[in-house]
Amino acid sequence: MPNTIEFLFDVGSPTAYLAWHRLKGVVARTGAPLVPVPILLGGVFKATGGMPPGVVAAKGRWMNEDMARFAARDGITLVMNPQFPVNTITMMRILAGLQDDARFAAVTDTLFAGMWQQARAMADPAVLAATLTEAGHDADALLALAGSDTVKQRLIANTQAAIARGVFGAPTCFVAGQMHFGQDRIDWVEAAAA
Domain ranges of the chain: 5-193
Homologous superfamily, domain 5-193: Glutaredoxin (3.40.30.10)
Whether residue 54 is predicted with pLDDT greater than 90 in this model: the reply is no
Mean of the pLDDT values across residues 134-163?
A: 98
E-only strand ranges, the chain: 5-9, 34-38, 172-175, 178-181
The chain-wide mean pLDDT, for the chain, equals 96
Least confident of 54-58, 93-97, 185-189: 54-58
**What's the pTM value of the predicted model, to 2 decimals?**
0.95
Q: Measure the CA dihedral 89/90/94/99, to 10°.
A: 0
Which DSSP symbol is given to 171? S
Q: Is the peptide bond before 85 cis (omega within 30 degrees of 0)?
A: yes
Cβ-based neighbour number of residue 57 at 10 Å: 8
